[in-house]
Amino acid sequence: VDIDWEYPGGGGANPGLGAADEGENFVTLIQELRAALKASGRDYLVTAAVGSAPGKIDKIPYARLFQNAAAPGLDLVFAMSYDLYG
């Protein structure tokens, strides 16, 4: 299951979209998705495509997704590097 949320906390093409609490909501979404998939009894990969610019990374508390090394929130993280320039 791949989550592609552009972008938690805003910073996308439309400056009117995004709220400050979306970083926390992103983490909650991943944690609840992981729990629901585990409850199904089947194995799933949970991945996310995330903004890689510092202003986007800083809006999400990623450390919370990897606190338990035996059961991380995300299996893979794909950096969207098209937001970088210079």
Q: Which of 6, 22, 24, 32 is catalytic?
A: 6
Cis status, amide bond into 44, omega within 30 of 0: no
Two structure tokens written together for 39: 């409850």
- The residue whose two tokens read 């439309």 is 14
Q: Catalytic annotation on 6? A: yes
Q: Which residues are catalytic?
A: 6
